[in-house]
Structure 1
Amino acid sequence: MLSIHFSTADLSRIRIAREPDPAWEILLSLHALGGPADHVVFGPWRTETLTRLDASARMLLALAPPRGYSPDFLTPAGAPDVRSAVEAVLSTGRRRLRADLAQLAVRRRMPSWTRLLAEGDAETMGRLGSALNRYHDRVLARRWDRIRAVTEAERALRARDFLDGGAERLLGCLGPPVRWEPPVLTVDYPVDQELRLRGRGLRLIPSYFCWRKPITLLDEELAPVLVYPANRGLHLLTGPERPGRSALARLLGRTRASVLEEIALSGGTTGADIARRLGMAPASAGAHTAVLRSTGLIATHRVADTARHTLTPLGLALIEGHLPIDDGPYGTGPPGPQH
């Protein structure tokens, strides 16, 4: 469990990142590369990306294992673009390099070159900078507009939460792994960790490649951040564009299609939120989610007294266009027999 302790001053100093953070997207996309090939979101991207990597990526994969600790110095605070982020990484002092790499070596055998990296060896640091730039240019740059679209949409959702209910609502709507129990934000986390903000506030960073659970830095003295999964909704990095809304509406009915899209856009939501956002009665939202659940398009998970609806792989495939929906003049689905 991660526990983030707020003061009154901290509540007034919450910020949401304007743009996708290049350093965090690099790190978390490297984590995703170590995941399963059949991952519902990242599987196709992973398969495509592995063909694009060159030998320099091995250095990054060694520093960013898919599970456990990754060095804090790889995600410097507030870099507006990848070049600035790489410059900040390369300016890391030896004390930080040594501490972070020692922490990384606690649970895994590290390559011999990490000893040179820990000492700030100029050639090794140069190799790291080149690897970061090449990885971003080969893997992320061509998809950056889609990544930006996701984070901008997420920022708009969180801004609406703040306007509707202030910091309390903003912190309370970050997703099922996060619970706001004033004055502490608790996050499902693989280890026990305390983060005391001490008036510094908290920078929230929505991330495309953050999966399921938020992540933060290990060192409490660094600028406090919480990187959390942005609602990827209808934006995948690979595959065809999603079917037209009219086709989906003809298949499911206009209102039920809107409910399915709302669940997709939110990355998982409650019936009450569906009703509020779509302007329908809670009973009507419940009836539509029941049909979507019975047809295998969504799954419903209950946590305490709250039921949250999420897309199933079948629902995701439908809404992303991996299942055929004929958008022609004769209705939906594959053509029937010709008479």
Structure 2
Amino acid sequence: MLRLHFTAGDLARTRVADGPDPLWESVLSLHRLRETRPEPLLSGWREHVLRQAAAPLPFLLPLVPSRGYFPDFLTPAEGAYGFETGLDALLSTPHGQLRGQVEKLGEDRPLTPWLRAVREGRAASLHRLGDALRAYQDAALGTWWQRIMARVESDRTMRARTQWARGTEAMLRTFEPVLRWRAPVLEAEYPVDRDVHLEGRGLLLIPSYFCRTKPVALADPSLPPTLVYPARSSVPRARPLTELGGRHLARLLGPTRAAVLQSLDGDCTTSELARRAGVSLSSASEHASVLRGAGLVSSSRQRNSVRHALTPIGLALLDGHPGLPDPTEKACEA
């Protein structure tokens, strides 16, 4: 069991990452690659990678065992700024950290000559590691990146919106059952029993496409607290849709428009919105336009499609936020 202990300061400093981290995705995809019973949705990806990334895999798989510990230097915080920035930080890891982390890797298995070379921080070995990561990233994530981005963005948008409208504790509750918020502790199933005291540093939550079951934390407690969790394409709200917005939502917006608003569970295209709400494409577009004009929905064009998402006001209306008055109730007379 992993237990993350929060203070009030930690709640104020906890946030969801702005997008997927390419180095975390690379490392975690190596776990998916070596699964004996891969998910059906990843079978085509796995076959593609085994064909296209045969050369770099012998250099990467020894650093990322199928189970247990893998070195923290593979996923530096700088990865949030892009693959090349993260890779530069990785290859600049101080020799003391390289040695300590590779030796820890060797506690459960003998170190191969390749791992011993990485442990010593030899320039030629680090150059080879960088080339292997670039080649693997291009083969494994290049054509898949739009899919990764779409899932992560859908997840993080809902988490961040919940945090904005109802606070960090409400946002932490949206992770159940993968994570369980039992104030002031965030719990998760984990291979080892571990307590992490954030001590005012806050927590960075990174949604990940290739993290598919349990969350992953950095092993070194001195590093900035980070938790990578499985991104979901559609994040369920804390209450059923039939309860959201109260009994007056349909009377306020009309039944069809209310259904369209309730169908915005994470961002989606106009076509997806029409399918979810059970209306025609033109009707979905018209209702989204009206809801956008009312400040309940935001829309953005991405290539040949338009994606829609709830604004904080729309989310608050659906969730029956106490700060929003019931517009059908009569105002109190002076």
Same fold (TM over 0.5): yes
Equivalent residues in 2 for 1:4-15, closer than 5 Å: 4-15=4-15
Q: CA deviation at 1:182?
A: 1.0
Q: What is the distance in 2 between the residues matched to 1:88 and 1:29?
A: 20
Question: Is the contact between residue 37 and residue 46 of structure 1 (CA under 8 Å) also seen in structure 2?
Answer: no
Give per-residue Cα distances to partners, 1:2-34, cap 9 Å, x unaligned.
111111111000121112101100100011101
Q: What is the distance in 2 between the residues matched to 1:108 and 1:146?
A: 35
Q: CA deviation at 1:114?
A: 1.2
Question: Is the contact between residue 5 and residue 196 of structure 1 (CA under 8 Å) also seen in structure 2?
Answer: yes
Secondary structure of the residue that 1:198 maps to in structure 2? coil
Give per-residue Cα distances to partners, 1:306-328, cap 9 Å, x unaligned.
xxxxxxxxxxxxx9xxxxxxxxx
Structure 1 residues 170 and 56, CA, compared in 2 at 3 Å: closer, same or farther? Answer: same
**Match of residue 175 from structure 2:** 174
Q: CA deviation at 1:193?
A: 1.3
**Match of residue 95 from structure 2:** 94
Structure 1 residues 206 and 277, CA, compared in 2 at 3 Å: closer, same or farther? Answer: farther
**Match of residue 239 from structure 2:** 272
**Match of residue 143 from structure 1:** 144
Aligned partner letter, 1:214: P
Question: Is the contact between residue 151 and residue 208 of structure 1 (CA under 8 Å) also seen in structure 2?
Answer: yes
Structure 1 residues 63 and 271, CA, compared in 2 at 3 Å: closer, same or farther? Answer: same
**Match of residue 216 from structure 1:** 217
Q: What is the distance in 2 between the residues matched to 1:146 and 1:115?
A: 36
Question: Is the contact between residue 32 and residue 209 of structure 1 (CA under 8 Å) also seen in structure 2?
Answer: yes
Equivalent residues in 2 for 1:110-129, closer than 5 Å: 110-129=111-130
The percent of aligned pairs where both chains have the same amino acid is 42
Q: What is the distance in 2 between the residues matched to 1:280 and 1:209?
A: 40
Q: CA deviation at 1:42?
A: 2.4
Q: What is the distance in 1 between the residues matched to 2:74 and 2:175?
A: 25
Structure 1 residues 38 and 24, CA, compared in 2 at 3 Å: closer, same or farther? Answer: closer
- Structure 1: runs of 5 or more not aligned: 234-264, 282-318, 320-339
Secondary structure of the residue that 2:181 maps to in structure 1? strand
Q: CA deviation at 1:124?
A: 0.4
Q: What is the distance in 2 between the residues matched to 1:150 and 1:110?
A: 37
Q: CA deviation at 1:62?
A: 1.1
**Match of residue 244 from structure 1:** none
Q: CA deviation at 1:54?
A: 2.7
Question: Is the contact between residue 76 and residue 89 of structure 2 (CA under 8 Å) also seen in structure 1?
Answer: yes
Q: What is the distance in 2 between the residues matched to 1:163 and 1:222?
A: 27
Q: What is the distance in 1 between the residues matched to 2:120 and 2:59?
A: 16
Alignment size in residue pairs: 248
**Match of residue 195 from structure 2:** 194
Give per-residue Cα distances to partners, 1:178-197, cap 9 Å, x unaligned.
11111111111111112111
Structure 1 residues 274 and 102, CA, compared in 2 at 3 Å: closer, same or farther? Answer: farther
For the aligned residue pairs, the C-alpha RMSD in angstroms reads 2.1
Question: Is the contact between residue 12 and residue 202 of structure 2 (CA under 8 Å) also seen in structure 1?
Answer: yes
Q: CA deviation at 1:280?
A: 9.0
**Match of residue 73 from structure 1:** 73
Structure 1 residues 168 and 175, CA, compared in 2 at 3 Å: closer, same or farther? Answer: same
Which is higher, the Rg of structure 1 or of structure 2? 2
Structure 1 residues 57 and 276, CA, compared in 2 at 3 Å: closer, same or farther? Answer: farther
